[in-house]
Structure formats: structure tokens, C-alpha cells
Amino acid sequence: MDKIYDQTKVEPKWYKIWEEAGYFKPEINPDGKPYTIILPPPNANAPLHFGHAMYAVEDILIRYHRMKGDSTLWLPGADHAGFETQVVFEKHLESQGKSRFDYDRQTLYQMIWDFVQDNKGVMEGQLKRLGFSLDWSRYKFTLDPDIVKVVYKTFKKMFDEGLIYRGNRIVNYCTKHGTSFSDLEVIYEDRKTPLYYIKYGPLTLATVRLETKFGDTAVAVHPDDKRYQKYIGKEIEIETVLGKAKIKVIADKAVDPEFGTGVIKVTPAHAPIDFEIGERHNLEIRQVIGYDGRLNEKAGKFSGMRVKEARQTIASEMEQKGLIEKIDYEYQNRVATCYKCGTEIEPLPLEQWFIKVEGLAKKAIEAIKNGDIKIYPKNWETTYFNWLKNIRDWNISRQIVWGMQIPAWFCDGCKKWTVTEGETPDVCPNCKNANLERDSDVFDTWFSSGQWPYATLQSTRPPAKSDLAPAGGGDFEKFYPTSVMETMYDILLFWVARMVMLGIYATNKVPFKDILLHGKVLDPLGQKMSKSKGNVVNPIEVADLYGADAIRMALIYGTAFGHDQSISHPKLQAMRNFTNKLWNIGRFIIDFAPEDAKHLDPSVIPANAGIQLKKFSSELDPRLRGDDNPQDKQILEQLSKTAEKVTKALDTYRFHDASDALYEFIWHEFADKYIESTKDRRAEAQPVLEYVLKTSLELLHPFMPYITEELWQKLPHKENSVMITNWPTIVDSSK
């Protein structure tokens, strides 16, 4: 053995051996209990950042269950990440002095496709470098034809059953990127914004948005507000910067009598609440702000101005005309912004496809309450329930090029929509008109990725013929529902809750049994990593410094699962030191064994699936009984207790407890105490040394796979075997 551990010699070698031998495929344990994790597909628009190294949690579970003998599948994939990827590509175009408007739809789509394909290979290399034991033979991409087919089928089924409808509703619209968003994709910022108290004839009302006044189609008060009873149902004459006008006063319970003067202007085209009021009172929807963020011709002389410019100009003219009673410059309000560019969101009317989610949400809530799915940490249940209980219909249309184009065609004859499972209709099925136009929108990425667990498994199959297992049925039948969905807590609502809703709807089963939510990985200063800040950490650069094993252990050790943590170079160095400690333990036991020592006979330590504590029998090596030496007996008892603790911790998702127990036992109990105590009786203690090291490596393998496999292979073991399939059988020396 080399004097110093060199991960560059070990890591590439072992990953290649494992992958090429098929050890990452579930077929190595064909008769085992199915255990499945679908990798949350990283966005295919950029290399992985350090936060993706938290996939280590999933690899720990996968390796643990594979070693126990389960038929274990960890299915990899990548997400086309519609809007996010198009934004990244548009920035790429901007760096070349170009924009999306310079290309037709087909050309732009192909350019983004090529861009994504180049990056996918980089991501795969990063995942392999970190030791993630994914079954690459089943790799899926969200735009694979078979995945698209599943998504289209779900859309058609929901449309036919009335769960998807076409509606002209207020949507959250980013005028910079030219697309709508769902409510979850809007970031609200607390800001100080001038609140203008403006005169509307005999009434005064408070508003922030002067620029939308040209779209006002009513003035509203609360029906119980005694101050304004005489105005309800009447028209009042108002003076505006564009001249005199008349407007009706209505009563609606949505009005807050405590806000401003208790009077509001109603602009159905530019506010969700106003839109709902307008529907109740049959008001005109008068749009005055275009999708380019500029006022249109209905704004008269202010036409063509952007919103902020128009607001200031209108305020100035209204003040000159005496139409502003006062201005509150300290007013605090929540401003909706685009989560990618920070542009203020415009609520605009737009015809879109919506999902009726109330019934889906109820079933998703029931799945948690009745225990079909469990959430870890449990405190996230409250967030999950609150969102689903207050959920609004989901807008799934996006006005971008990159993604799955919606399979819906509009007939200019009967004015009806035809939805298919992807095939292009020759004629309208309603009126037989051949002039049909396809919807240019694409699906919201979360709609397609919300179907990921069943879409992937419905589109993959085990090998028709395999040296490792006989031909079998489809992956969906065997591996669905999946065992665990593990991801960061910030997409519990974006993605996980939607997977639950769509999974139950499409399959009548929950998509997974347990939801595990890990915390954020922040930069060394405790800041969220982002490209705009320039603080994104490349995990491969860190792996070059410390090794993949050290990264994996550092992310788990000492941090309770679900809690945020910062990248800590002292902690990474500590785990690198632990790697070196393991290597030195191995050198002492393997390279410096006495010539007269009797070595461990692997045939007397049977490889079993799972931990089994046994009494000693004549079949087991009597030297592992520990009867002749109290120190031997003590270390074997401590090993047994550690194994029990690690197993229980992994079964209950307390990864930090497992890693802490292993670190403490290996470094302090085994190395510092027991190994030191054997230096004057090496030959006698050699079998125990080898057994304790071998078993410790097996227990540690899910956390630190590379160095553990390298050392394990140098110890006595069954010929042509690898540790990746052997969870240890623990000898109970206390009985």
C-alpha cells in the first residue's frame, strides 16, 4: 500500500469496475425486495453546484439497501427545465449580441437542444465522480419521446374528465421574459411604495397603481359600510387626466373598509381580486397594459410608456389638476417580482390552460394524514397542508419555445379546441374543418416533472436478457410506488406536492412512500449560492482537493438532517483527515501484519442480507469470540452496538447519527484504544483486527464508498466479490 492515500488512483478505478460489472442495476439482486429512488433530475442547463452533492443522502440509502440484498434501483435523469433553461440560453445569446427574437421557433428550439445536450454530459461526469451509484442504463431526459408520450396522455385524460380547462384569467406575467407563471414562481418583496389618495368625483380612494386607472370599470365599497350607502348602485362623474367620465359604484364583500378610505377602484384586467369582483358584477375587462409592459392605446397620451414612467407622469399631471388629495410615501406593500430577473410581475388577462386542483389537493392531503406517505422532518407537514388547503387552479401554459408544446389545436371554424395524445388531427372532430392551429405554448416544467416517478418507470424496462437475472416484467410493475423521494425542502410545494397530486390521479397510488427534505448548502459565508453573486462552488474542484469520500462524509457528519449548513473547509479537512486515518489503519493491519499471524477466514463470516446478531457456534472462528481477552471482547461488543446503531439510524433517516457513530467508533474506540492495546500481541489479535476493520468498512461504505472498497479488497474476502453487495453479519460476542 502507498504510504499516503491518493484518491486519484482509487476513485476512477472503482467507479468503472462497479458500473461495467452491472453492480448499479437492480438485477444483481433479482429476488430481493424492490427498493426505488428516482433521482430528482438536475436542470440540464448548467453544471452541478455544490448543493447537488447532497445527492449523497440518496446514495447512502441506495448502497445500504443494495448491500442488504434488496433489488435496488436508483434511476438517473435530467430536466429540460423549460423557462430556466431558456433564460440561461438567452443570456448566452446576449453575450453574443443576439436575442431570441433573431430566430424562428424551430431554429431557437434546436439551438437550445444542442446547448443542453452538451451540458448533460458534463453533469453525468460530475455525478459519477462523486460516486453516485445510479443505474445509467435507465437514464431518462424529460424530453425523451416516451416521457413526452406519458405527459400528453395525462393531459388528454385530465382534459376529457374536465380537470383541465381553457380559461381567460388573470395570470402572473413577466414582461421581460414574455411568459406567465404559477403563483409559486412569484417572489414577493416588501417595499415602500407611494400610496396615492385620488379624487373620484365625490369619493376619495387610495391606490398604488395610478397607471391602471384607464382600465377602471367600477368603484367598489363594502356593502355594510355606512359611509357610502347612498352611492351604491349609482353612477358618479369623475375627472381624469384624459377628461371627464362616468363610473358605477358597486358593493362587494371583498372590499376592506379599513384600507385607505374604504373605497377602491376596480380594474378587472390588472388585479386578481378585481377580476373576481368583475366576474361577480359582470364588469368589462379593459386591458390597458400590454404584454410588453407598456401602456396601450386606451391610455391616450400615455400610450407607449412603461409602467413606472407612466405612474410618475400621471401623478404629476393629477397633482397639477388637483386630483390628488395626499400621498403616503411610507406605505408598505408586497410587490410581486419574477423569481429569475426581478422584474415586477404584471397581473394580466391571458387565455391559458388551467388545472382544477381542489379535488387533487384533497387526495394529496389524505395521503399524508392516513400514513400512505410520511414526511421527514415531520414539521414540514404543516407547510404542505397549508398550501394544499389554500391552493388555486394551476396555470400550466408557458409562452416560451423550450419545452413540451401543448398538444391542443384551435379550430377557426367552430372556435373549439381539440386535445390529443400528441398526434396531429387532420380535421376538427367537431365540425370537420381542416384549418386548425396548434397552441404555441409549452407546458409548465412542473407539470411534466410532476409526473416523473411514473413516467420514468412506465418508459423503462429491465434488460431483455441479462447474465445477472432472467428476463422480467416492466419497471413500473416492480418498482412503483417508489420508496423515497429525497430533495431540498424549498421545492416541497413546487414539485413534491404536485408529484403526489398527479401520481395519485394517474396511477391510483402514491408515487413514493417517504418524503425526505434536506436543508440548503450555503457558501462558506452562509449565503445562498447563485451565479449572479458569483459564489457558486463547483463540487469537482472541492473533490480534487479533499476527495469525493470526504465531501460526502462532511455533508452528513455533525449536521442534523433537514438543517441548513455552510460549506466548511475545516469540516472538509477533518473528513479528509478521517480518510487518511482509515488508510493508516489499513496499512497497520494489512501491511504490517506479523509473519506468524493467522488471518481471518472469510468463510466463517457468512455474508447475509441484513444485520443478524448471532450466538457463537462451532461454525464461527473461535478467535472472534473474545473469550480469551477482555479487550477483544470489548471491541467486538462495541462493534456490534455500533452496527445496531448505524442500522437503526439509516432505517429512520438519521444519517448524522449513523455517521457520527461510525466516526467515533473507528477513530477513537478502534484506532486510538484497541489498536494501541494490541501492539504487544499482534499475531494473536490479527483476526480480530481484520474482522473489526472489515466490518467497519462495510458499515461505512454507503457514506465513503471509494476508500472502503479499496481497503476491503485488501482484506480476506470471498474470491471475486465486492463490498457493494454485502451488508455485514455482526457477531454478537455478548451472548
pLDDT single digits (tens) 376-387: 999 999 999 999
Residue type, 378: K
Res. 729 pLDDT band, cuts 50 70 90? low
Peptide bond into 47 cis (omega under 30): no
Q: Spell out a b/e string for 571-581, using b for 16 or more CB atoms within 10 Å of the CB, else e.
A: bbebbbebbeb
Architecture of the domain delimited by 565-725: Orthogonal Bundle (1.10)
Predicted confidence at residue 346, as pLDDT, reads 96
Res. 619 pLDDT band, cuts 50 70 90? very low
- 346-372: pLDDT as tens digits: 999 999 999 999 999 999 999 999 999
The DSSP 8-state label assigned to residue 204 in this structure reads E
Residues paired with residue 75 on neighbouring β-strands, in sequence order:
38
Q: Say how many C-beta atoms besides its own lie within 10 A of residue 339's C-beta.
A: 15
- 229: Cβ contacts below 8 Å, ≥ 6 apart: none
Rounded to whole angstroms, the Cα distance separating 627 from 368 reads 51
Domain 194-330, classified CATH 3.40.50.150, yes or no? no
Asked if pLDDT for residue 611 goes beyond 50, the answer is no
Predicted confidence at residue 610, as pLDDT, reads 33
Predicted confidence at residue 623, as pLDDT, reads 55
Rounded to whole angstroms, the Cα distance separating 729 from 567 reads 36
Predicted confidence at residue 448, as pLDDT, reads 95
Instruction: Calculate what percentage of the chain has a pLDDT beyond 70.
Output: 94
Of the listed ranges 51-60, 72-81, 267-276, 716-725, the least confidently predicted one is: 716-725
- DSSP notation for 686-699: HHHHHHHHHHHHHH
| Higher-confidence position of 724 and 372 | 372
Cell 424551430: give the residue: 106
Mean pLDDT of 12-25: 94
Average pLDDT, the chain: 92
Rounded to whole angstroms, the Cα distance separating 215 from 561 reads 51
Predicted confidence at residue 118, as pLDDT, reads 87
Asked if pLDDT for residue 625 goes beyond 70, the answer is no
Residues paired with residue 473 on neighbouring β-strands, in sequence order:
none
Rounded to whole angstroms, the Cα distance separating 531 from 538 reads 11
Predicted confidence at residue 185, as pLDDT, reads 86
The beta-strand segments (E) located in 218-345 are 218-221, 235-240, 243-251, 263-266, 324-328, 332-338
- DSSP notation for 118-129: HHHHHHHHHHHH
Asked if pLDDT for residue 470 goes beyond 90, the answer is no
Q: Say how many C-beta atoms besides its own lie within 10 A of residue 286's C-beta.
A: 17
Count of residues making up the chain: 735
Predicted confidence at residue 603, as pLDDT, reads 64
Peptide bond into 630 cis (omega under 30): no
Predicted confidence at residue 149, as pLDDT, reads 96
643: nearest Cα among 663, 666, 662 = 662
The beta-strand segments (E) located in 356-492 are 374-376, 394-395, 397-398, 408-411, 417-419, 436-438, 442-443, 482-488
Res. 605 pLDDT band, cuts 50 70 90? low
- 88: Cβ contacts below 8 Å, ≥ 6 apart: 45, 46
CATH 1.10.730.10 positions along the chain are 565-725
Contact 440, 105 (CB under 8 A): yes
Residue 165's SS3 state is strand
Asked if pLDDT for residue 621 goes beyond 60, the answer is no
Mean pLDDT of 213-233: 97
Mean pLDDT of 100-112: 95
Res. 692 pLDDT band, cuts 50 70 90? very high
| Higher-confidence position of 240 and 473 | 240
Predicted confidence at residue 466, as pLDDT, reads 38
CATH 3.90.740.10 positions along the chain are 194-330
Predicted confidence at residue 557, as pLDDT, reads 96
Predicted confidence at residue 381, as pLDDT, reads 98
Predicted confidence at residue 467, as pLDDT, reads 40
Angle value at C-alpha 154, between 478 and 358, nearest 5 degrees: 105
Q: Which range is most confident: 465-479, 601-615, 699-713, 720-734? A: 699-713
Predicted confidence at residue 322, as pLDDT, reads 95
| Higher-confidence position of 616 and 44 | 44
Angle value at C-alpha 261, between 255 and 263, nearest 5 degrees: 40
Percentages of the chain per state (helix, strand, coil), in multiples of 5: 45, 20, 35
Predicted confidence at residue 46, as pLDDT, reads 85
pTM assigned to the model: 0.91
Asked if pLDDT for residue 188 goes beyond 90, the answer is yes
Asked if pLDDT for residue 432 goes beyond 70, the answer is yes
- 13: Cβ contacts below 8 Å, ≥ 6 apart: none
Contact 326, 149 (CB under 8 A): no
Rounded to whole angstroms, the Cα distance separating 708 from 283 reads 71
| Higher-confidence position of 601 and 579 | 579
Res. 719 pLDDT band, cuts 50 70 90? confident
Asked if pLDDT for residue 629 goes beyond 90, the answer is no
- 42-58: pLDDT as tens digits: 999 889 999 999 999 99
Residue type, 255: V
Distance of CA 570 to the CA centre of its chain: 28
Asked if pLDDT for residue 231 goes beyond 90, the answer is yes
Rounded to whole angstroms, the Cα distance separating 545 from 276 reads 58
- 541-570: pLDDT as tens digits: 999 999 999 999 999 999 999 999 999 999
Contact 45, 88 (CB under 8 A): yes
Mean pLDDT of 399-424: 97
Asked if pLDDT for residue 254 goes beyond 70, the answer is yes
Mean pLDDT of 149-166: 97
